[in-house]
Structure 1
Amino acid sequence: MKKHIYICLALLSISISQAQNSLKNIDLRTTDVKPTKVDKLDTESYLIDFGKAFFGTVQLSSTRGQVDSLVIHLGEKLNDENRIDRDPGGTIRYQKVVLKNLPANQKIKVKLTPDKRNSTGAAILLPDSIGVVMPFRYCEIENLKIPFKELSIHQRALHNKFNDNASSFSSSNKILDSIWQLCKHTIKATSFTGLYVDGDRERIPYEADAYINQLSHYSVDSLYNMARRTNAYFIENPTWPTEWLLHTVPMFYTDYMYTGDLKTLQDHYENLKLKTLMDLEREDGLISSSSPHLNKELIEKLGFKKPDTKIKDIIDWPPAQKDTGWKLATAEGERDGYEIVPVNTVVNSFYYYNLKLMAEIAGFLDKNEDAILFKKKANTVKETINTKLFNKEKGYYIDGEGSAHSSLHANMMPLAFGLVPKEHITSVTDFIKTRGMACSVYGAQYLLEGLYKSGEAQYALDLITETKGDRTWWNMIQVGATMTMEAWDVKYKPNADWNHAWGTPPLNITTRHMWGIKPKAPGFKVAEIQPQLANLTYSNIKVPTKHGAIIANFKKDKNNRHYNIEIPDNMSAEFTVPPNNLKGRHNGKKIKPSQKIIILKSGVHSIDLKQ
């Protein structure tokens, strides 16, 4: 893994000045966070808990001076003795700072030592005026000679502009509520560079990380500039592996659907066509990084500054890590035994999705010939995948051409992207349900999407709220993380950090699939609301749009389901009536049993349904 990461970093090749230019017009804010708890450890030592981890530093002042040195420890994790863990493992952060003295009545901002990995090369750099920040929740003070009550201490939290009140969620499942809050805080706390970065270890934007970050950010705030800056960054600074590149088109498409602003699609249309990787297409429509067309010229067109002629050897780094030499909990890492072959199911599922979206994008831009071409290509790829990469005897997909192995990944991606024919959805979902959460935190995004799209809402909710085992979001909370982790546990990825926004699928899944609230027409002119609330007995949600918030409430009582939904001005919504509805009323008027869609205009709507 490390070798592959270093090669990828070399390929990024963005200069420090370029990174600094990416930070122009960014609205970074600093929030002073008070301690939520203070424990006296001994006569001269105290543990301060700020409640949640943020990127930043500590600021303190005292009404009484101290001439002796003061020792400050900052960290994300506690050890078993209720002290900050000095050796937390992975890329979980800890740092020690010694203050020579503590002058009276002066604000002292603790100066931190930068980490070489995330402050050089391709890392997104912060302005010098901000200084060095690190993620931490706890502060431990040693050798304090003066009474603690003389101190004023704050966590100086750095984050991009964020509207905490733009969104909310609650439900009858308190585990779900806790996980949603964990994810929402992650989106705010990881915004400290003004771009979507992978986490603190590298602080580099990667397309796959950024896409999940974008979906979750758009689910809790209607400020879109951060995503748009990140999207623009990827035009000139793409990353490997193959499927990372194939997230570019979905990011630009999502932005248009939420904002309705065509300019970015117009400006980058030709580059988006390249990022589909259709230049690697074979006669049967499938693509492979082993294609002879993956040459220096194409790599340069894609935006790589220093193309490596041997890049095809590492380009297919599938939806979990390759074998790394690490001692992992499972030999195959997070890939469920996924067999890496030149023409594989995951990459071509992403390719199909790119073609499908490009057909829509071409239509938005009145490029009708291109729209027809992309639609035709998508149909060809779909047919080929279902002919060559589907095991008809077993009823589910193989990992790729020539493979006899079927992984969770090779099946959840076709399901998420709408590749599975109706007659095979049951057999594919049945296979998926035998695998559990056999994918990485990142892969969980597509597993959950596929399940909701195929009517498996209860199983999806059960996965999100699972409390047993360590491959759960609940485990992240239990081990002490207050941002989502890069991996389920360090034993699955020994260099994992505790601040990865790609771990937030439950946030955007709750909004976009559990409640089913997302834009149906560009710019949220028309929203779709398709609730699949499984066994929840009540739920309340507030979803931001550019026109204002959609506010929805749900309550179930025996066989009755009641929805109260408020639609902002200048938009409407299409409410999908859940299946098995026998009768109901919309604002007091009867709903026909055969009615599938209810049109909701601006205003408040009451929908009562009975099964």
Structure 2
Amino acid sequence: MSTPDLWRHSPAIWTAPVAEGGSEPDWAFLRCEVHVDRPVAEGTLHLAASSPEPGRQFVARASMNGAELGQGPVRAIADERRYSSWDASPLLIEGANAIGVVAWTPEDRRIQVALRIRYRDGSEEVAAPSAPWTGLAGDRAYRPSGSIGTHYFVAPQEHLVGRDYPWGFDQPGFDDSAWAPAATKEPFTTLAPDPTATVTTFEAAPVDVAAVGPGTLRFDFGGTYVGGLSLPGLGRPAQLTLRFGELLDEHGRVRAHMATGNYYEDRWELDGHEPHLRTWGLRVFRYLEIDGLPPEAAESVRALGHVYPLGERTRFRTDDPRLQQVLDLCEHTMVQTNGPLLVDSWSREREPYEADAYLQAKANAALSAEQELAGYSLDYLLQRRTWPTEWPFYLVLLAAEHAERGGDLDALAARRDQLAALLPTDWIDPATGLIRKLHGSDGSASVADHDIVDWPPSERDGYLFGPVNTAVNAVAHGAFSAMARIDELLGHPDAPVHAEHARRLREAMNALLWDEEASTFIDGLDAGGAPLPHAAAHAGAFASALGVADADRAARIAEHLAPLGMPVSVYAAPFLLRALLRGGRADAAFDLLVATGDRSWLGMIEAGAGATMEAWNEQVKPNVSCAHPWGASPLFLVVEDLLGLRPLAPSYTEFAVAPQVPEQIGHLGASVPTVAGLIEIDVSGEAAGRAVRVSVPEGTRCRLRWDGEEHLLGPGPHAFDRNR
């Protein structure tokens, strides 16, 4: 059924103002009933809503016959309006079926709902309600309150008054005689389906419950969740105050006034008749503190997480408990803090950024074969770029790697011209062949086309900025190389042009930015073209990780970096670790992966973080958040670098395995889901030496590099030993 046909008889609606001439409520309850007169084969509920922009989140939760279907829609890229779709088949019955919607937005308040039914007799229709939609303003059930957001977005505190909530409004036969007819509004003109999967809810029990004050219980869920609280009805009146937070203060109390600027405090006024209680919106938390909860209800408290379905996930195997702990933290981060869009974090900003999306997409790809999330986020950022000079370059890398993993060349072709337009050809200095900028090479924040190198500024290892910036040139080199691969995949004639740009840039960087004595790259050149007298870790790390350095110089850079520890941020860490790995210092890279202290992933766990943090600690960044999924880079460093798995042809029809597992790890392995099937790799230490085992899916082949030799492997299991 075409999109126009689907929505033809579905008006846009919202709850009418309480008083004539009054303002529309931000909170709305909407319901209707649909009569089904014959057996149903399949049913789908579609919901379009506006506007998700003020809250940078979903607008509505939809349910049918007392069971929740989901939340939506996802934020749109431009002027289109997105709609979510849910399988309603298990809920539809012959007779009366109730549809309920709870919605919140302070801007362009509109909901459009369509129920498509295919009957067992083969007929199909968009079912009309048995009676017009009715609505109830939600500002009595959810009393006017403050925002849990920051200066980037607004989202409501949920001060719930149980006696005014229309419990059961999404069930057939509910008495809505006191409700008003829903207000009919201008229908959406450009509708497009959500391109990503439906976010589902997940309940988690606490791992610890403690009394922290008179009548106050603290719940630790052991990891970070994006969502809120699920609680069965208490059966008696209660006044509850809920405080959510990522960390505890020095007294062991939940920090609801988060360093990010969020304030996660809600109040519930309950009369005892509530059947089940759940928060509506998104809070980012590991800890929950409740005042006034009857002690016998504590065992029923659950974290309500919102989970983006990744499908089958990678199974990691290692006998190093430190590495397993880091991988567990990173996997929990990806599972519980993904959303329908690759955003920086669901706490402070709820906004996609190019470099963050690139790293998060790589971590997701190391964990699953899911493709839509990275694809839509890429399209979103192609229309909505952010400020740093080098950030858009990452979209070219993301697009190339995404196509190589997933094989969707049609989507790549549709993005091709936009990607090519991101390349910094206008900044190439004809005199040197380097990227040279006359403005913006100063590390300023939130100003378009200003170099960033690293963030926060204290993490730049003393980096000196100049018109020629080595880190920017290195990311540009990566983008030109990726664009050449894109054009090769598409058969576009500009592939040699981009490859030549990459070659010239690489040669210029090696000729003009290499410091022979220091065995690394310097930070850049000054306005007169003279070398800047400094070589931050970032210069060598980015240049090596992004393919600027040849094998000899990569090895020398790795020797230069190895004694430095971790002088870069969580964002730059995977580039530094990749530079160590590319230079043959897998031992040093592994030591950093499993390091302790306040500049490590294990240090995040020690600090109480339930997901990867945006900075190593609060001393580095006082407004730090503990839920930044792009910080889970150990996932792809293990899969892509330590185990050496990379696609050589789209969809993994041919792939490489080139392990470089240091001897500190007795055993490292992973079963990695790909679009071609499950790839299994194990590297282990045995009495006689090291061994590798690879299982190759049907229809693919593997180029295994092991013990200095290359082996071409067909489908099935394979094993090789290395003698000491």
TM-score, normalization by structure 1: 0.82
The question of whether the paired residues in 1 share the 8 Å contact of 2:439 and 2:450 is answered with: no
Pairing 1:30–2:201 present: yes
Question: What is the one-letter code of the residue matched to 1:76?
Answer: E
Shift of 1:159: 1.9
Report the equivalent of 1:55. 226
Q: How does 1:90-169 map to 2 (within 5 A)?
A: 90-91=259-260, 95-104=264-273, 106-110=275-279, 131-144=280-293, 146-149=294-297, 152-163=300-311, 165-169=312-316
Question: What is the one-letter code of the residue matched to 2:243?
Answer: H
The question of whether the paired residues in 2 share the 8 Å contact of 1:532 and 1:578 is answered with: no
Report the equivalent of 1:443. 572
Report the equivalent of 1:316. 450
The question of whether the paired residues in 2 share the 8 Å contact of 1:55 and 1:190 is answered with: yes
Distance 1:156 1:19 in 2: 30
Pairing 1:427–2:556 present: yes
Q: Secondary structure at the match of 2:338?
A: coil
Unaligned 5+ runs, structure 2: 1-52, 57-74, 85-193, 527-531
Q: Secondary structure at the match of 1:242?
A: coil
Pairing 1:228–2:353 present: no
Pairing 1:485–2:633 present: no
Residue 422 (structure 2) aligned to one of 260, 275, 278: 275
The question of whether the paired residues in 2 share the 8 Å contact of 1:93 and 1:136 is answered with: no
Pairing 1:81–2:194 present: no
Q: How does 1:323-362 map to 2 (within 5 A)?
A: 333-362=458-487
Residue 252 (structure 1) aligned to one of 399, 415, 420: 399
Distance 2:671 2:419 in 1: 33
Shift of 1:544: 1.2
Q: Secondary structure at the match of 1:243?
A: coil
The question of whether the paired residues in 2 share the 8 Å contact of 1:563 and 1:608 is answered with: yes
Pairing 1:512–2:636 present: no
* Residue range with higher mean Cα deviation, 422-431 or 519-528: 422-431
Task: Give the paired residue count.
Answer: 533
Cα 1:600/1:16, change in 2 over 3 Å: closer
Distance 1:270 1:412 in 2: 30
Report the equivalent of 2:628. 500
* Residue range with higher mean Cα deviation, 195-204 or 273-282: 195-204
Cα 1:355/1:39, change in 2 over 3 Å: same
Q: Larger Rg: 1 or 2?
A: 2
Shift of 1:340: 1.0
Distance 2:554 2:234 in 1: 68
Report the equivalent of 1:123. none
Distance 2:624 2:425 in 1: 33
Per-residue Cα deviation, 1:299-351 (whole angstroms, up to 9, x for no partner) = xxxxxxxxxxx99976333322375xxxxxxxxx0000000111111111111
The question of whether the paired residues in 2 share the 8 Å contact of 1:196 and 1:227 is answered with: no
Residue 522 (structure 1) aligned to one of 631, 650, 670: 650
Distance 1:81 1:434 in 2: 38
Distance 2:392 2:501 in 1: 19
Q: Secondary structure at the match of 1:31?
A: strand
TM-score, normalization by structure 2: 0.70
Distance 1:531 1:338 in 2: 33
Shift of 1:433: 2.1
Report the equivalent of 2:510. 386
Cα 1:393/1:72, change in 2 over 3 Å: closer
Residue 65 (structure 1) aligned to one of 222, 236, 241: 236
The question of whether the paired residues in 2 share the 8 Å contact of 1:199 and 1:501 is answered with: no
Shift of 1:92: 7.8
Report the equivalent of 1:398. 522
Q: Secondary structure at the match of 1:341?
A: coil
Residue 185 (structure 1) aligned to one of 332, 336, 345: 332
Unaligned 5+ runs, structure 1: 1-8, 111-130, 295-309, 324-332, 580-595
Distance 2:694 2:456 in 1: 46
Per-residue Cα deviation, 1:452-495 (whole angstroms, up to 9, x for no partner) = 1121111100011111x311111100011111000001211122
Q: Secondary structure at the match of 2:264?
A: strand
The question of whether the paired residues in 2 share the 8 Å contact of 1:318 and 1:346 is answered with: no
Cα 1:540/1:241, change in 2 over 3 Å: same
Distance 2:222 2:480 in 1: 45
Distance 1:22 1:504 in 2: 30
Distance 1:201 1:98 in 2: 22
* Residue range with higher mean Cα deviation, 45-54 or 227-236: 45-54
Distance 2:637 2:488 in 1: 27
Distance 1:142 1:358 in 2: 56
Pairing 1:364–2:482 present: no
Q: How does 1:291-306 map to 2 (within 5 A)?
A: none
The question of whether the paired residues in 1 share the 8 Å contact of 2:317 and 2:670 is answered with: yes
Question: What is the one-letter code of the residue matched to 2:616?
Answer: W
Report the equivalent of 1:290. 438
Per-residue Cα deviation, 1:393-426 (whole angstroms, up to 9, x for no partner) = 3332110013111110111111112211344334
* Residue range with higher mean Cα deviation, 390-399 or 241-250: 390-399
Residue 717 (structure 2) aligned to one of 598, 604, 607: 604
Distance 2:672 2:666 in 1: 20
Cα 1:571/1:73, change in 2 over 3 Å: same
Question: What is the one-letter code of the residue matched to 1:363?
Answer: E
Shift of 1:267: 0.9
Report the equivalent of 1:584. none
Distance 2:271 2:460 in 1: 52
Cα 1:409/1:572, change in 2 over 3 Å: same
Distance 1:108 1:276 in 2: 51
Distance 1:240 1:63 in 2: 49
Shift of 1:86: 4.4
Cα 1:166/1:280, change in 2 over 3 Å: same
Distance 1:172 1:440 in 2: 28
Distance 2:239 2:449 in 1: 51
The answer to which structure has the higher helix fraction is 1
The question of whether the paired residues in 1 share the 8 Å contact of 2:513 and 2:521 is answered with: yes
Distance 2:283 2:522 in 1: 43
Question: What is the one-letter code of the residue matched to 2:629?
Answer: A
Cα 1:249/1:150, change in 2 over 3 Å: closer
Report the equivalent of 2:537. 408
